[in-house]
Amino acid sequence: MGGARMSARSLVVVGHGMVGHRLCEALRERDAGQVWDVTVLAEEPRPAYDRVGLSAYFTGSTADDLSLVAAGFLDHPRLRVRLGEPVVAVDRATRTVRTAPGHSYRYDALVLATGSSPFVPPVPGREAAGCHVYRTIEDLDAISASARSSRTGTGVVIGGGLLGLEAANALRSLGLTTHVVEFAPRLMPAQVDDAGGQTLRAHITGLGIGVHTDTATERIEADADGRVARLVFGRHPEGLAGLDADVVVFSAGIRPRDELARACGLPVGERGGVVVDEGCRTGDEHVYAIGECAAAGGRVYGLVAPGYAMAEVVADRLLGGAATFTGADLSTKLKLLGVDVASFGDAFAATPGALPITFADPVTGVYKKLVLSDDAASVLGGILVGDAGEYGTLRALVGAAGAVPDDPARLILPAGDGDGAGVALPAEAQICSCNNVTHGQICAAIGDHGLTDVAGLKGCTNAGTSCGSCVPMLKTILGQQLAAAGIAVSTALCEHFDHSRAELFELVRVRGITTFSQLIGEHGRGRGCEVCRPVVASILASIHNGYILDGERAALQDTNDHLLANMQKDGTYSVIPRLPGGEVTPEALILIGEVARDFHLYTKITGGQRIDLLGARAEDLPKIWKRLTDAGLESGHAYGKSLRTVKSCVGETWCRYGVQDSTTLAIDLELRYRGLRSPHKIKMAVSGCARECAEARSKDVGVIATELGWNLYLGGNGGHRPRHAELFAADLDTETLVRYIDRFLMFYVRTADRLQRTAPWVEGLDGGLAHVREVIVEDSLGICAELDAAMEHHVDTYQDEWKATLADPVALRRFTSFVNAPDTPDPDILHVLDRGQPRPARDAERVALIAGTTLPVVRQPGPPESAAAPAPAATPALALPDPAETTWRSA
């Protein structure tokens, strides 16, 4: 479509959505002979944008961020895009189309890319104010406006499929108590089976979202102002009559936009959609249809990948080719409300003789299903919920005979190779279904073009440029190919930086960079992502040790750091004050108990010798911190990638076996390293003798007392892959011990990868622990003075983040459940008594509570007014029932 102007034919594209834009891109890339002049007539007021990523609009992305149109694309001399000019009629006899403003355009070829419209079930009352669909940016603006004016603070999504759960996430991000109503007996019925649906439901209800499956909405009732007030159910598995809400989003499916085709006499399918052949041509040889408005092979495809494939076929046909569309991969991988969900191939084992293998871990919330052919020689499909790490490998194996190992279960078991290591993919295995790119094509591109990074691979093959779900697999293949060729693999943090985390750390340190904007402006590109932004936030905090919610830094933090507390499954937060070495005075212990009592918090002693206060609402966090910090307590940093605890035994002070004062050393170490931001969390322990009651060898840094001093152990951790720390040095005096720990921690902070614990970091170093010893004892790199100075800077500039937040009026504004109603408590937080303490209500309990059944419930507790704390927001404070009078308790 470039070069000198020649006699050209006229192509009119109706619609500039994702698929229509892909057609324009394909023609621009291929039309070297300048065959076509292209006119695009768009209904929406803006050019093509990423409708798949629409939910990002609620988390800070702008319409420009979502745009799919590259800079300068619309300026091409052979392309005209008319925004806000929808086509209202097609005259096939004269080959012209007429638009709403009254303009006519003649065509030699016409492509209908009109997409689909949301299906709104015929529920009485659906026209009430506050009812919305979830399709365009304008729809999202309307939903936001309704949320801001919400009187109940409650929103309901009708539809529990892919888009329904995306919409639920949007309502939740707007501060609304959210419910999902699904007519089918499970969530995402088209993608997951019953077991997968149960696992997904557990994840989502754990976030405080109400889930009502097998539920039919009978009608929507409006108030006197004509606004939604209540949903009335005609069927509910537990007899719930309905829900009070004033924001409703319909996301119950789509319907093809085929009205233009119907009006001009083109054949349409029985269930809608413009009928097309394998070349995506309609009943008129001059008219094509692509995307969600087309019915290919009797089927309407509601995903973007098939639409892109159709666009490629039509581009080829317009230029004289013979490409065909014979179906599409309907595999899906996405993260819904923080939960990985994937479905691919014959997920429901519909193929005769199919052999399903399943793995379920209800403790971790993981469900995996692998469907094999009757001879177990090939993969037919599968379902992954809670952990989709194997998705790239498994999807690529679909239909590839002979690629299944002798023990196929290892493909989905926890010990399996989720990154594809050890599984030989055939050349025809499809890696990117959106753009139909195979394993062989990717390997050829790497070798033929000398590619060394994912960005280059994307540009060369288009793989990973659409939904992005295949990017991890691209990284794996690239690494395998480069390693086989003896080429160093790129360590770039993400597509926005060409540097590793360690390299970014040095750039920030050496050049004195203080903001993310400065770093990405000078050494990166774009606006950053969920990978690089928290990493840079950690680096800035490690080096400068400033307040993490100050100015631009606040926007870089993840959920926990954003509110300086760990979010729990029901949307409340935990508060864990620092108790160095596990030591606590009676006065501090009494205060913690009083705070837990006044704010109705669940209280538990942690494995790190601290007291965990669970169930705090966001708006109560500053009030709780005020009570604690006034008494001299401070943040325990349980929410951050930083030092968590230094566990200890009572040592020689009390124990008859102890040989050193382990408690005092643990307290000194915790106060020295508190708040140190690092690539991952750090845990330590000090044992007063070889009996090891503090379990020091299971920690990143472990210290065990001897008759002559201290033995130092480094590089251990518990958790998913426990590892014992190794002896680093023996019989150290306290000063030397502390100096070595200082240097170890700072060397780790400088050089570890993103989210890398000390154990794999040490293992990954050339020379392992011996290299660490050379660096921090022998000063082989000549950096010990810098490491010492960095730690002293950290110690000298430490400040308690809770206290700093209480002194910052701007930071305090974020501690609300609802931005539009800051004084309104979250009505969806429902607790019941269990063993005399409040805990989140389970599914059945929530239904009973909402229905009005009398159960011991603590709903929106708030502290009494006192001189020691700010006055609480007006809430319906309920006293905890006397455990002796409790008549109900869960099994």
Q: For the segment 800-826, what is each residue's pLDDT rounded down to a tens digit? A: 999 999 998 888 887 876 555 566 677
Q: In the predicted model, what is the mean pLDDT of residues 399-418?
A: 69
Question: What is the pLDDT at residue 488?
Answer: 64
Q: For the segment 783-806, what is each residue's pLDDT rounded down to a tens digit?
A: 999 999 999 999 999 999 999 999
Task: Give mean pLDDT, residues 263-267.
Answer: 96
Q: Confirm or deny that 649 is annotated as ligand binding.
A: yes
Surface-to-core class of residue 233, CB atoms within 10 Å of its CB (0-12 exposed, 13-18 middle, 19+ buried): middle
How far is CA 256 from each of CA 116, 262, 844, rounded to the nearest angstrom? 4, 11, 38
711 or 843: which leads in pLDDT: 711
Which pLDDT band holds residue 356 (cuts at 50, 70, 90)?
Answer: very high
CA atoms of 639 and 207, how far apart (whole Å): 17
Confirm whether residue 689 is marked as ligand binding: yes
Residue 674: band (very low, low, confident or very high) from pLDDT cuts 50, 70, 90: very high
Crossing angle of the two packed helices 501-511 and 516-523, in degrees rounded to 10 = 110
Q: Is the pLDDT of residue 879 over 70?
A: no
User: What DSSP string runs through 101-129?
Assistant: TS-EEE-SEEEE---EEE-----TTTTSB
**If you write DSSP's letter for every residue of 564-613 in order, what string do you get?**
TSEE-TTS-EEE-B--GGG---HHHHHHHHHHHHHTT-EEEE-TTS-EEE
How many percent of the chain have pLDDT more than 70? 90
Residue 844, both tokens: 């059945």
Q: Tell me whether strands 339-345 and 379-385 are parallel, antiparallel or unpaired.
A: antiparallel
What pLDDT shows up at residue 447? Answer: 86
Q: What is the pLDDT of residues 855-868, one digit of tens each?
A: 544 444 444 443 33
Q: Which amino acid is at 599?
A: F
Is the pLDDT at 48 greater than 60? The verdict is: yes
Q: How many CB atoms lie within 10 A of CB 770?
A: 10
Distance (Å) of CA 645 to CA 408, 495, 573, 685: 41, 35, 19, 8
Write the CB contacts of 509 (distance below 8 Å, at least 6 apart in sequence). Answer: 543, 750
Sheet holding 332-336, edge to edge: 332-336, 339-345, 379-385, 366-372, 355-361
Identify the residue whose tokens are 């999807």: 395
pLDDT score at 824: 65
Query: Which pair of structure tokens corresponds to residue 546?
Result: 């400033």
Nearest to 732 by CA among 759, 704, 701, 758: 704
131 has binding-site annotation? no
Cα 418 versus chain centre, distance? 19
The model's pTM:
0.54
Q: Give tens-digit pLDDT for 163-190.
A: 899 899 889 888 899 999 999 999 999 8
Segment 413-417 mean pLDDT: 54
Enumerate domains of the chain plus CATH numbers.
Answer: 9-116+256-318 (3.50.50.60), 131-252 (3.50.50.60), 501-557 (no CATH), 641-798 (3.30.413.10), 830-885 (no CATH)
The pLDDT of residue 838 is above 60: yes
Rg (CA), the chain: 30
Band of pLDDT at residue 459, cut at 50, 70 and 90: confident
Determine the angle formed by the axes of helices 137-148 and 162-173, rounding to 10 degrees: 40
| pLDDT of res. 800 | 93
Q: Which of 517, 651, 478, 644 is nearest to 577 (CA)?
A: 644
- pLDDT (mean) for 769-779: 92
Max CA distance (Å), the chain: 102
**Tokens in use for 883?**
């455990």
For residue 728, which of 711, 716, 745 has the smallest C-alpha distance?
A: 711
Tell me the C-alpha distance between 458 and 26, whole Å: 15
In terms of Cβ atoms closer than 10 Å to its own Cβ (0-12, 13-18, 19+), residue 437 is: buried
pLDDT of 571 strictly over 90: no
C-beta of residue 39 within 8 angstroms of C-beta of residue 13: yes
pLDDT band with cut points at 50, 70 and 90 for residue 869: very low
Whether 246 shows a pLDDT value over 50: the answer reads yes
pLDDT over threshold 50, residue 6: no
pLDDT at residue number 873:
37
**What's the confidence (pLDDT) of residue 843?**
78
* 683: region left, alpha or beta (phi > 0 left; psi from -120 to 50 alpha): beta
How confident is the model at residue 468, as a pLDDT? 61
Give 533's contacts (C-beta < 8 A, 6+ positions apart).
516, 555, 556
pLDDT at position 145 is 94
Write down the mean pLDDT value for the chain.
Answer: 86
DSSP per position, 280-324: SB-SSTTEEE-GGGEEETTEE--SHHHHHHHHHHHHHHHTT----
SS3 458: helix
Q: What is the pLDDT of residues 17-46, one digit of tens each?
A: 999 999 999 998 887 767 899 999 999 999
pLDDT at 273: 95
Q: Residue 437's pLDDT is what?
A: 84
Alpha-carbon distance 619 to 791, whole Å?
Answer: 35
Q: What is the pLDDT of residues 275-323, one digit of tens each?
A: 999 999 999 999 999 999 999 988 999 888 899 999 999 999 999 999 9
Tell the burial category of 269 from Cβ atoms under 10 Å away from its Cβ (0-12, 13-18, 19+).
middle
- For residue 529, say whether it is annotated as part of any ligand binding site: no
Positive or negative torsion for Cα 57, 61, 62, 64: negative
Q: Cα(first)–Cα(last) distance of the chain, in Å?
A: 70
The confidence band for 492, taking pLDDT boundaries of 50, 70 and 90, is confident
> CA-to-CA distance for 853 and 239, rounded, in angstroms?
12
| Nearest partner of 540 among 530, 529, 527, 550, judged by Cα | 550
DSSP 640: S
Q: Greater confidence, 416 or 425? A: 425
| The most confident of 63-67, 378-382, 866-870, 886-890, by mean pLDDT | 378-382
